[in-house]
């Protein structure tokens, strides 16, 4: 794993909604690569979060990439809307559809990068025939829907398997991890093959350090050799 491939995506669901633009400026200075937006519908996951107005207002305010993660039962309805608003990477869950190729193609046809997300209990072999068409795999390391949940250690092995499958095909696909990503879990996940780390309350937004400083420390953690 080259250090140059490491990417940090800061989860805006964990930021201060009342001073969000200020937090984004600190994240920019702290060296994050992307802003992670969780879109929840109260059905696929038992929670609601973020939406179109937020992306519409933030897109002109920053050059950071927007990494949009749909945790919704019908992502195909909203994908064109968020693509038009400025999402750069659009990820949806494999558990939501049997038409993976069609939905991935729709994202690529909109000129966006396509990602597929897997819940902790979803086996990685579901990706076998879709690998050549995607840009990123998002491995959930907690059951999705709420911040601050307990890390599921079994997903480390799943990341290893996905990394092996990607390398055996000589493909260039990012492996992102989301949920409980911090000092204890980053070394395990990086050694397993992850290179995109989604930062939330276990790292950048823990409150232990000012956000810019926390972002710099988190990048240093992720870029270490383990």
Annotated active-site positions, please?
38, 178
CA distance 157 to 135: 21
- Is 23 flagged in the annotation as binding? no
Q: Is 44 annotated as a binding residue?
A: no
Q: Is 43 marked as a binding-site residue?
A: no
- Maximum separation of any 2 CA atoms in the chain, in Å: 46
Report whether 151 belongs to an annotated binding site. Answer: no
Tell whether residue 170 is among the known ligand binding residues. Answer: no
Alpha-carbon distance 28 to 102, whole Å?
35
H or E element: which one contains 165?
helix 155-168
Any binding-site annotation on 77? no
148 marked as binding residue: yes
State CA 104 to chain mean position distance: 16
CB 44 within 8 A of CB 71: yes
The answer to whether 38 is annotated as binding is yes
Neighbours of 130 (CB within 10 A): 16
DSSP structure class, residue 149: P
Binding residues for a divalent metal cation: 36, 38, 69, 178
Binding residues for substrate: 11, 69, 145-148, 180
């Amino acid at each position: 794993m080259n250090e140059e491939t490491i990417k940090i995506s800061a989860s805006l669901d964990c930021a201060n909604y009342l001073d969000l633009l200020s937090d984004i400026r600190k994240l920019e200075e702290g060296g994050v690569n992307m802003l992670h937006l969780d879109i929840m519908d109260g059905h696929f996951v038992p929670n609601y979060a973020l939406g179109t107005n937020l992306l519409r207002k933030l897109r002109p305010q920053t050059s950071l990439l927007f990494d949009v993660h749909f945790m919704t039962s019908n992502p195909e309805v909203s994908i064109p809307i968020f693509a038009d608003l400025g999402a750069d990477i659009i990820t949806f869950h494999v558990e939501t559809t049997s038409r993976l190729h069609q939905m991935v193609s729709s994202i690529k046809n909109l000129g966006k990068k396509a990602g597929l997300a897997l819940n902790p209990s979803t086996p990685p072999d579901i990706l076998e025939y879709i690998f050549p068409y995607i840009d990123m795999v998002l491995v959930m390391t907690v059951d999705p829907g709420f911040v601050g949940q307990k890390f599921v250690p079994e997903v480390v092995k799943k990341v290893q398997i996905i990394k092996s499958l990607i390398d055996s095909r000589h493909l260039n696909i990012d492996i992102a991890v989301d949920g409980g990503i911090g000092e204890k879990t980053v070394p395990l996940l990086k050694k397993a093959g992850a290179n995109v780390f989604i930062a939330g309350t276990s790292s950048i937004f823990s409150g232990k350090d000012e956000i810019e400083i926390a972002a710099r420390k988190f990048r240093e953690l992720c870029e270490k050799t383990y």
